[in-house]
Structure 1
């Protein structure tokens, strides 16, 4: 054909026939890209040296210094030099999934020491003297506490969240005040989970006595506020178990903390309830639901019910996932018979669906074109959607889009029908390969373990490197919403050694605290709204370059691990294809491929991973440059950076595709990376339409298979939990179903990722087979009979049935 002649003319002749070629035989191989492997080994050695240097000179405590609500580093900034512990007004609010992004929403203040006793304002305000109340108050600033002149002032400060309403005895952990509970309180954790008749009345102790004992308060202080105090203690109790891991760590570095040991009375009942709902997960889910649910109390209850459902249904979820695993393996095995009907039914289903969509869109367009309507002026999402759906042009544009999609897909199916048949046949071949070497399905677990170790190593080294250096401080004015400028207008004057200090300039906290004062009053007073605050850790040049080295090493190593997985699978499936009699495929094919990759081709993997790492590093540098140039708001610069980021994203995507096929060619021929990449690119371009058809058809087929297995797992789980109330009792049937659907989709994605690699490898082997062989006894085809029938080819001798 003229098309084939043009491609050959542009991308070269097919590979010459090699009489000794027998596929990926280890005896014909030699080590590839050895210099790159040596460079990679030296690089890892340098990375190890940086790691030991970072651990020896770094101090992670610098990175965990707490910061209060005024952005002051406790024990470091000028105004809090003697206050190195952070106190939370309500620590329970910090157990929220969005806290890492938004910060803990409760007020936080630096204190000299963590509270050593429990305080509840609502129960003590009528029992303690004003002096005692003021002494126990913890406020945002010293000025707030000094301005407390009466009980009403305290009440007002508490209502305005300038002072804490309540707190319990705490112990410091990582310079943060964590709640500490007495054994009596631990015995009754959580109160909300105990039987109501026990909570309402106890044979030997009433509620007031119980609450007083658990917080070490006289019973008389409870009085008429027993319900309120009990509610507070329930909130505290729900957090007791959440801090258990922290308390266990605290024992190693601080004074021994009181452990929660329940007594034998009702121990099993409480233990069972605690396992169901009183966990960190319950608090986390409750706070997460609170962002989308009306009422914090209802959200917390819903979160506890969800966690209880998870604890009750874990074995159902596990059974469903085991069934999904078996079903995935069965479907992969059956794909050799049902790939064609599934695909063609899906294609015709898509065309029918598009045709119906065109008909419905045209019908709706005609209706709304002839119908006069008034837009809904309500400011909500539902009204906006209704307005869009009642617009005639919406349906017109939709009908045009669906019509174009229908025509394009129909023409592609007609033009590429023969190549779609090839894709189906290769899918069947992939099913045979995966089914005969079933261990390949579980091989990605090994890659995951290596990837997790690499991530942990890079993060650890990065943290230690980030802590090396001297802290830099700058004189700043704190934000003030009452000021016209938005910042404090405090007249802070510096004298003596600090006479040259100015806002925005460098400073030393000790010198600032001793030589800077506020002149707004007749008497000098320390500057409170102007501080010498921590700005950053200034790294030495060696540490800065070591951080860049660590980031690049992370990219190189992770890409190397992914390449190693691809190469092992490619060698495995290439060995299967180029074995003329499939019954002669070695039993330990995967193990032999693993060994071949380690002995011969680690340099090739390092070369390919290096190219991707360089490209990714350039993209990271562009992102960093973009963040630095945003403040200049230059349209031309933004446009150039946007084009560059888009270009390098496309380049990395192309390189990923090229590397994957280069690894396959290396697995087949055992040549170095550059030669393999060139051969793979030329081979693909000579068969461009086949590549497009096989790639898209297999992707579509695998997507349908994942949806089928995931949907079946979800429906099966729902049917079981609905029709088996005597075996499992749940608040919400959707909880286990959702878990199963998510886990099943991830599981099938892994399985079909291996399947996809098998099809890609067999496809390149098939193209090599077509160009190298002609079906003669000297050069027989290795492809299946179905592929030969599609191409109109055959071997000139009777093949054994075992080769099918």
Structure 2
């Protein structure tokens, strides 16, 4: 083609070539975009200053202040100023993986202190006097507790879940009452759940367990069998015996929790508890329960799944190791099988579309001649059946498949030469990756940097979010029995709170002293409170939060750019080495060093542009959330257009940056010059770019599917045909894990392969325009590429 045989001078002045250019030689490089690198370092220094300011002035405890069932912040809101601990009626219900999303489905109330003894209503109601029972009762409000005058009142309040039916002696953890166990109760706990580390003994009769151990104990003690639960709770109550106190003069010593095992009285309970679920099984069971009929069956299914995971871990590990080896082998074999795989796949797509057209026409004729009555059931299955019983549905599907078949067929015919170039470049990429195998594992380094950046940004953001003064609003609590849905309590304020009104600002302490339902009897407001609304940040903190968000975007884009630049330098060095056998050792290390010494400024420049674009998109989302209450169609249309435009802009900038880094790797120019050269080069070879990009994407997708399917099928047949090695409840458990992990692994490997092909493609375009095959300017491309383009070197040297 003409564009391959002569220099094209579109898009500006004719290109000037350096006759002595021989690829990305590090000795001829200089630092690029130094001012932007200095700005980046100054930005990181400012970010560090904000981080130390946030840590010094922030308090993460503000983020974990508990909230009760009435949306009151314990120890902060007016009605619970002296109640800073949160008590759960049934803490066992909080062991659910969806609790962080949906909340714990049990009543929660703020209390002055966590219970110091175990209480079980069903076992103690006939053993303790009425006054003692009332004293031990924990209810949603003081009103509920004051209304308890008889056993019937207590039973009714418990049945209505206004008071707790039972609870275990607890200790505060993050201001939440978590179960606390005495050493005697350890005999009811499986040995593998006992804490292994030594604890400080402060002279008390009990030792508090950390959160993770508490969760395990909850898992061990909770069971669907109500009778067994009552036996356990009764045992807890009976074994909570005070121990001898330690003298105040005695220094605290470290000693492990001792468990005294009784062999007769609690043997049955011990056996049952030892068969209790592990924490992982509990989580899996609760998760399955949301999609499975029956809690007990779901819990059993969760146990079996966890058991299968624990029994098949080595099989999963072996399968992933085989997938790793198979990925490397496939990348190496791609140089020979890229063309057959692609053309067979294209043929398969064309045949599949033809069969789909035939089937659609057949169904169209059938339903056109068949009279049917729509299914009037209101469900998804009925709606789907009605759609596929419509003749027009199959007609539209036939038209769509026919157009797709014609378009794909024409593209294959028109772009066949460029598809051959894409296949040849894929083979070249296979050679490059195979000869520099360390590039496959380089993304691990980028992941580590990315995780550190995310952790840093999130930590700084959390600390910044806690700096400021709390803002309180006077609100009425929700009341489902009221016509308006909220309480109609007539709460009146006087004195310093005389100007307080519902929805306005307030101060909890002033509210408690000056707001009453009845001033004469000083009856406090119960259903109206001065509640925490938000933390009002000073202007400096607000700007610091924006600074932190922008820093997160800039740093993460910088890390991604660093990875692209190192790989681009590595593969560009491979391409521009005339004799591939002479590729320098430690090419990846040399590229790493060149990137750090010369091109960090270019990376900072490119990532800065992306960060600004992403920040604008975030600002548009924030503006959209603020303007939703106005419900203005014009505003929504403008914002929608702006969001779409900046999304397209960011996508284009990502593509341009990637090619700019490759051009910078080749020539060592700054970002703007590299981006300009990359854009002009791509536009001069637009059809080639489209063909290569789509063909390689299709090839890589097929390769990932092939490896993932092979890993899953191989694991399944191994498990089925070797029952003597492993016995599983569900063969699908290890197969599913292997399939997911294998797809992630192959995605990482072929991501590096994709970068290799993109780099070699731009190098190939540069080679076509820069060189003519003469002894002074020989082609660096492979013989296959020269054969496709009808070119050859006038030298007798080998080029591949």
Do the two structures share a fold, i.e. TM-score over 0.5?
yes
CA contact (8 A) 2:663 2:677 kept: yes
CA shift, 1:159, in A, is 2.3
Partners of 1:580 and 1:272 in 2: CA distance? 74
Secondary structure, counterpart of 2:370 in structure 1: coil
Equivalence for 2:77: 77
Partners of 2:786 and 2:254 in 1: CA distance? 76
Residue 681 (structure 1) aligned to one of 679, 696, 701: 679
Residue 695 (structure 1) aligned to one of 693, 696, 701: 693
CA contact (8 A) 1:54 1:461 kept: yes
Aligned pair in 2 of structure 1 residues 351, 263: CA closer, same or farther (>3 Å)?
farther
Secondary structure, counterpart of 2:86 in structure 1: strand
Instruction: State which drifts further: 25-34 or 377-386.
Output: 377-386
Equivalence for 1:93: 93
CA shift, 1:184, in A, is 4.5
Aligned pair in 2 of structure 1 residues 255, 633: CA closer, same or farther (>3 Å)?
farther
Partners of 1:569 and 1:548 in 2: CA distance? 32
CA contact (8 A) 1:336 1:427 kept: yes
2:644 pairs with 1:652 = no
Equivalence for 1:175: 175
Equivalence for 2:768: 770
Partners of 1:7 and 1:776 in 2: CA distance? 15
Partners of 1:236 and 1:732 in 2: CA distance? 38
CA contact (8 A) 1:277 1:304 kept: no
Partners of 2:791 and 2:187 in 1: CA distance? 80
CA shift, 1:227, in A, is 6.9
CA shift, 1:47, in A, is 0.4
Secondary structure, counterpart of 1:11 in structure 2: coil
Aligned pair in 2 of structure 1 residues 408, 565: CA closer, same or farther (>3 Å)?
same
Aligned pair in 2 of structure 1 residues 5, 434: CA closer, same or farther (>3 Å)?
closer
Partners of 2:68 and 2:93 in 1: CA distance? 15
CA-to-partner distance for each residue in 1:61-112, whole Å, 9 max, x for gaps? Answer: 1111111111100000000001000111222222322222222222111111
Over aligned residue pairs, what C-alpha RMSD do you find? 2.8
Secondary structure, counterpart of 2:110 in structure 1: strand
CA contact (8 A) 2:29 2:598 kept: yes
Secondary structure, counterpart of 1:72 in structure 2: coil
Secondary structure, counterpart of 1:322 in structure 2: helix
CA-to-partner distance for each residue in 1:593-648, whole Å, 9 max, x for gaps? Answer: 00000000000000000000000000000111111111111111111111111111
CA-to-partner distance for each residue in 1:391-417, whole Å, 9 max, x for gaps? Answer: 211111111111111111111111111
Aligned pair in 2 of structure 1 residues 83, 264: CA closer, same or farther (>3 Å)?
closer
CA-to-partner distance for each residue in 1:439-496, whole Å, 9 max, x for gaps? Answer: 0000000000000000000011111111111111111111111111211111000011
2:459 pairs with 1:460 = yes
Equivalence for 2:407: 408
Equivalence for 1:575: 573
CA shift, 1:732, in A, is 1.1
Equivalence for 2:245: none
Equivalence for 2:214: none
CA contact (8 A) 2:6 2:769 kept: no
Aligned pair in 2 of structure 1 residues 170, 735: CA closer, same or farther (>3 Å)?
same
Partners of 2:611 and 2:473 in 1: CA distance? 37
CA-to-partner distance for each residue in 1:110-138, whole Å, 9 max, x for gaps? Answer: 11111112222232233333333222221
Partners of 2:271 and 2:723 in 1: CA distance? 20
Equivalence for 1:311: 310
2:625 pairs with 1:627 = yes
Partners of 1:187 and 1:719 in 2: CA distance? 44
Aligned pair in 2 of structure 1 residues 265, 449: CA closer, same or farther (>3 Å)?
farther
TM-score (structure 2 length as normaliser): 0.90
CA contact (8 A) 2:158 2:164 kept: yes
Partners of 1:91 and 1:735 in 2: CA distance? 30
Equivalence for 1:250: none
Secondary structure, counterpart of 1:649 in structure 2: helix
Partners of 1:561 and 1:571 in 2: CA distance? 16
Secondary structure, counterpart of 1:482 in structure 2: coil
Equivalence for 1:56: 56
Instruction: State which drifts further: 66-75 or 13-22.
Output: 13-22
Partners of 1:700 and 1:775 in 2: CA distance? 32
Query: Gapped runs of 5+ residues in structure 2?
Result: 194-223, 236-251
Partners of 2:117 and 2:46 in 1: CA distance? 52
Equivalence for 1:336: 335
CA contact (8 A) 2:9 2:15 kept: no
Instruction: State which drifts further: 718-727 or 355-364.
Output: 718-727
Aligned pair in 2 of structure 1 residues 681, 183: CA closer, same or farther (>3 Å)?
same
CA contact (8 A) 1:180 1:257 kept: no
Instruction: State which drifts further: 394-403 or 176-185.
Output: 176-185
CA shift, 1:681, in A, is 0.4
Alignment of 1:431-442 (within 5 A): 431-442=430-441
Alignment of 1:468-483 (within 5 A): 468-483=467-482
Equivalence for 2:389: 390
Residue 605 (structure 2) aligned to one of 588, 593, 607: 607
CA shift, 1:733, in A, is 1.0
Equivalence for 1:220: none
CA shift, 1:769, in A, is 0.3
CA-to-partner distance for each residue in 1:301-325, whole Å, 9 max, x for gaps? Answer: 2112211111111111111111100
Partners of 1:631 and 1:650 in 2: CA distance? 27
Partners of 1:262 and 1:794 in 2: CA distance? 87
CA contact (8 A) 2:4 2:769 kept: no
Partners of 1:389 and 1:257 in 2: CA distance? 71
CA contact (8 A) 1:16 1:772 kept: no
CA contact (8 A) 1:770 1:781 kept: yes
Secondary structure, counterpart of 1:517 in structure 2: strand
Partners of 1:349 and 1:377 in 2: CA distance? 39
Alignment of 1:465-544 (within 5 A): 465-519=464-518, 523-544=521-542
Aligned pair in 2 of structure 1 residues 79, 100: CA closer, same or farther (>3 Å)?
same
CA contact (8 A) 2:709 2:739 kept: yes
Equivalence for 1:198: none
CA contact (8 A) 1:180 1:258 kept: no
CA contact (8 A) 1:57 1:468 kept: yes
Q: Which runs of 4+ in 1 moved over 4 A?
A: 1-10, 190-193, 232-237, 254-266, 270-277
CA shift, 1:660, in A, is 0.4
CA shift, 1:233, in A, is 6.6
Secondary structure, counterpart of 2:312 in structure 1: helix
CA shift, 1:146, in A, is 1.7
Partners of 2:332 and 2:89 in 1: CA distance? 60
Aligned pair in 2 of structure 1 residues 144, 255: CA closer, same or farther (>3 Å)?
farther
Instruction: State which drifts further: 553-562 or 393-402.
Output: 393-402
CA shift, 1:32, in A, is 0.1
Equivalence for 2:115: 115
Alignment of 1:351-390 (within 5 A): 351-390=350-389
CA-to-partner distance for each residue in 1:185-220, whole Å, 9 max, x for gaps? Answer: 444436999xxxxxxxxxxxxxxxxxxxxxxxxxxx
Partners of 2:500 and 2:728 in 1: CA distance? 65
CA shift, 1:258, in A, is 8.5
Aligned pair in 2 of structure 1 residues 192, 378: CA closer, same or farther (>3 Å)?
farther
Partners of 1:597 and 1:504 in 2: CA distance? 57
Partners of 1:8 and 1:236 in 2: CA distance? 90
Partners of 1:261 and 1:692 in 2: CA distance? 71
Equivalence for 1:147: 147
Secondary structure, counterpart of 2:75 in structure 1: coil
Aligned pair in 2 of structure 1 residues 314, 192: CA closer, same or farther (>3 Å)?
closer
Instruction: State which drifts further: 770-779 or 9-18.
Output: 9-18
Equivalence for 2:135: 135
Partners of 1:558 and 1:525 in 2: CA distance? 57
Aligned pair in 2 of structure 1 residues 91, 402: CA closer, same or farther (>3 Å)?
same
CA-to-partner distance for each residue in 1:693-716, whole Å, 9 max, x for gaps? Answer: 000000000000000000011111
